[in-house]
Amino acid sequence: SQQGEEDPQALSIQEGENATMNCSYKTSINNLQWYRQNSGRGLVHLILIRSNEREKHSGRLRVTLDTSKKSSSLLITASRAADTASYFCAGGSNYKLTFGKGTLLTVNP
């Protein structure tokens, strides 16, 4: 079963713009993680936010978590063509992750 549901399913922006992706989840979690997948590759961990945190930053990434709404958002600032990929959120509990279906981000040069 899917834990996270990302929104939108696809997003196309111009280089330099910001990209925001949202995620909703269903059950209780210890943490919420975001991963990136380039076409034909494995997933790469981007950032983790714990259930007692509300916001976290890492470079051009900003993640928020609202446990009352069971939702999270990932903001990528000043996007680059190299950011083109699929982005997945995953709810973590006891080392087990349940992934959503992802948002396909296309950054046009």
Partner 1 sequence: DAGVIQSPRHEVTEMGQEVTLRCKPISGHDYLFWYRQTMMRGLELLIYFNNNVPIDDSGMPEDRFSAKMPNASFSTLKIQPSEPRDSAVYFCASGGGDEQFFGPGTRLTVL
Closest CA to 23 of 44, 5, 43, 45: 5
Indicate which single residue of 11, 24, 53, 99 sits in contact with partner 1 (rule: CB under 8 A). 99
Q: Which stretch binds partner 1 (CB under 8 A): 14-22, 33-41, 55-63, 67-75?
A: 33-41
Q: What is the DSSP string of 45-92?
A: EEEEEETT-SEEEETTEEEEEETTTTEEEEEE-S--GGG-EEEEEEEE
The H-or-E segment that residue 13 falls in is strand 10-14
Q: Whole-angstrom Cα distance, residue 26 to residue 2?
A: 8
Q: State which residue, 42 or 109, has the beta carbon closest to partner 1.
A: 42
Indicate which single residue of 20, 31, 64, 106 sits in contact with partner 1 (rule: CB under 8 A). 31
Indicate which single residue of 33, 71, 72, 84 sits in contact with partner 1 (rule: CB under 8 A). 33
| Dihedral of alpha carbons 100, 81, 64, 69, sign | negative
Indicate which single residue of 21, 65, 97, 104 sits in contact with partner 1 (rule: CB under 8 A). 97
Q: Which stretch binds partner 1 (CB under 8 A): 20-28, 61-69, 72-80, 99-107?
A: 99-107
> Which residues lie near partner 1 (CB under 8 A)?
2, 30-31, 33, 35, 41-45, 48, 88, 92, 95-102
